[in-house]
Amino acid sequence: MRVAVLILFTLSVVGTKAQDDSTIVQSKGWNPRDSFHRALARIPGFRLGFDSRNSVLAGLPVGVNGFRYGLDYGKVALWTGYYSSRLLRTLEADTVNQGFEYTSSTLEYYVHQSWRFELVTSFQAGLGRYWDYQKSGTGVVRQNAGYIVPLEMGLGGTVRFLRYFGFYAGIGIRVTPFNPTAFNGPYWSYGLTYFTGTMYRDSKKLMKKLKR
C-alpha cells in the first residue's frame, strides 16, 4: 500500500522524482569544484514535482508532504519547495500533538550519474512555523506555537531496471538548532520512479516515423 501511495505522489529526491536522463553528465574525472563550474555553465531545465517523505516528530511517525520546483543543471540542481507534516495515526481524544510547515531551498549534488544508476546528496535549509493541535470530541483545535528553522541533509539513489521505470530510496536527518528538539529526527522515502525524458524523446521519434 505504501509503495502505491508513493507512486501516486511521484516522490522526488530526497523522495522519488520524475527523472530526465537528458541531463545526465558522466561524473568521471569531475571534482566538486569543477562540477559546479561546468554545471552552472549549462542551460538548466525547469523541474517540478512532489517530494513526500516519512519522518518522526516528537517520537511519533508522521508523513511530510512536499511540493517543489527548481532548475536542473545536470550535475547540480537547485530547488524551492513547501512542506507540511501529517500524522500517520488517528488522533486520540484529548491529546496534544504537534505539526509543522515550512518553505525551504535545496541544493542537490550528484555524486554519480549514469544511465542505470544515480547517487545524489542534498542540503536543505528552510523557515516555517509549528503548531500544537488537540482533538476534543470530533473537532480538532490548532494553535500556532512558534517558528522553526529546519536544516536537512540527505542521501538518495536511483536504479533503473526498465527503460521507463526505476526504484528510488533515500534517507536523511532534520535538525532545528533554534527550536525544540522534538522537531529533530530522521526522514526516509522509497518507491518507483519514472523517466519522463526518455518517454518524451521516444514519443517524438515515434511521431516522426508515423508522419513519414
- pLDDT value for 47: 84
3-state secondary structure 10-29: CCCCCCCCCECHHHCCCCCC
The CATH number given to whatever domain includes residue 112 is 2.40.160.20
State the pTM of this model. Answer: 0.74
Greatest pairwise CA separation for the chain in angstroms: 69
- pLDDT value for 89: 61
- pLDDT value for 167: 95
- pLDDT value for 126: 96
- pLDDT value for 169: 96
- pLDDT value for 14: 35
Please give the DSSP secondary-structure letter assigned to residue 116: S
- pLDDT value for 12: 35
pLDDT tens per residue, range 42-71: 788 888 888 889 998 878 888 999 999 999
- pLDDT value for 7: 31
Do 56 and 62 touch, CB atoms closer than 8 A?
A: yes
The domain tally of the chain equals 1
Please give the DSSP secondary-structure letter assigned to residue 183: G
- pLDDT value for 187: 96
Q: Low-confidence residues of the chain, pLDDT below 50?
A: 1-29
Alpha-carbon gap, residue 154 to 44, rounded angstroms:
23
| Domain with 178 in it | 2-211
